[in-house]
Structure 1
């Protein structure tokens, strides 16, 4: 209690996210039961009849659901490979910049897109890749090519998703790595320089190993969200022409639950998604803990 009174302002700052977590993440958990019921809005959640695992059996036989699972894994793994590694490389390269003002300017510019909503970013992407007035297609036509329907093409839609996601989040995702690099003792770099190590050697043998704990923990947390394929981004960019490659579990749940009013079935799909994500996190954490001293718990 003495420690709590001494740090009461810190606990007060912590109160708001805890309340938010309790109200919007834990309180709605009682609604999970509708995944095992034939939900009737007029009867309410508890008075609706039970149907066991019928929704889950229907789910495994639904082509659209299986396609959404496949697309979710494909897009999420691409995000994991590209969107997770680039912030590390960006932070390490930015750390090597000597000019302080230029470094701060690059940081500020790279952070800015994170604070833009996907509605705004999607509007910009639609204009940039527009076949009639987009900058990209104007350049293609200028060099003798034909306009490309980037957002309606199964070939180009996923690369556009990954590219825009990296552009929006790479700067913000590098903050933790830059903070970790700032805590590395300068004496290590000085000793390495005296031994003849160049900048590449210092990045490889000092900076990267020092970032290992942060990299492992953030990687595990990303694995726990492996089935979050980027709902806001895809919802604002996709269309029926690219459902085959762009429809993910979240957009599938949105269409089935809110547009077709199948609340019980969509709850079953959402439960499946969260259980699989939790399983990924537990298995990956145990695998890492057996081979290193790092882990989420």
Structure 2
């Protein structure tokens, strides 16, 4: 809904992914209807592709038109650094070696490699912000810096490395920094979700009418955020988890469940999460109109 409305307002779309934008989530979901979506970026390594998407955004930005830009950086995901460079943070590996990620391995060197990749991405983001500032665009441009997932380095001592393998805070929590001209500085301490970003843009920027419940699963970050005891997360469509302060309740597609504490230790019982059926119904409310329309057409 967000991107559809921006298209109606004749925004230019500068969508560049260092990682390929080929999954159905991108191709047939988020960017459906966006003309000339580039699915691949040239470059032999994630770092080179990160550099390329930064150049492409800067070179193709037409400041005579409103724009929506998305730079999907990937060097941290691939632990990728410039060729022949020295990692900024030491001691560090020079490249990722997954065979060394064992239960008793030190996390310091691989974590510093990851931090160095992020450090380099920060420099590219700095180039983008400087470019916007020099073209006098930063004072009327909303900038959002976030990530799609966290990254674990055996933090819970269960031999989990990376992401997509559990619902601990380490793998779920992401940074969220927003530059919003005209808004006072503030720090939001409430529990928030990715859904809240689009809801905030729809409500506060595009001035969507009524409650955000009418068009989104999220809530505006500039309004009182509901103090829900439970949050929900999913993993690649394979399972869904209810997460509270002290319980992680995971439901798998085969009907089995498991209950864990925040450190991923199994526990026998705990508070009962809300109805799974009711939750799933609420999560699909916002795709039903598109499905129905597709069926009619």
TM-score, shorter chain, exceeding 0.5: no
Q: Which has the larger helix fraction?
A: 1
Q: Which has the larger strand fraction?
A: 2
Radius of gyration: which is bigger? 1
Q: If the length of structure 2 is used for normalisation, what is the TM-score?
A: 0.25
